Amino acid sequence: MTPKVSQEHKEQRRAKLIQAATEVFIEHGYENMTMKHVMEKASVSRGGLYQYFENKEDLFEAVIQSQQTEALDLSIQTMIESQGTYWDALLMTFLGKEKTPNDRMDPLAPSKLEYFITGRNDKRRLEHARERYHSAIKLTTKLIEDGERVGEFTPRFEKQVIAKSIISWIDGTALSHSVLGPDETDLKKQSTLLIEYLEWVLGVKR
Q: Residues in the site for its own copies, rule: CB under 8 A?
A: 29, 31-32, 110, 113-114, 116-118, 120-121, 126, 129-130, 133, 156-158, 160-162, 164-165, 167-173, 175-176, 178-180, 184-186, 189-190, 193-194, 196-197, 200-201
Q: Residue 96, Cβ neighbours under 10 Å: how many?
A: 11
Closest approach of its own copies to the CB of residue 91, in Å:
17
List Cβ neighbours of 166 (8 Å cut-off, separation of 6 or more).
94, 140, 194, 198
Of 96 and 157, CB closest to its own copies: 157
| Residue spans of alpha helices (H) in 96-203 | 109-118, 123-149, 159-180, 182-185, 187-201
Nearer to its own copies, 146 or 171 (CB): 171
Least separation, in Å, of the C-beta of 156 and its own copies? Answer: 7
Residue 156, SS3?
A: coil
- 63: nearest Cα among 41, 40, 30: 30
Which residue's CB is nearer to its own copies, number 12 or number 168? 168
Q: Return the number of the residue (51 or 93) whose C-beta is nearest its own copies.
A: 93
Tell me how far, at minimum, the Cβ of 155 lies from its own copies, in Å: 11
Q: What is the number of other CB atoms lying within 10 angstroms of the CB of residue 77?
A: 10
CB of 116 to its own copies, least distance (A): 5
Of 5 and 179, CB closest to its own copies: 179
- How many angstroms from the chain centroid is the CA of residue 64? 7
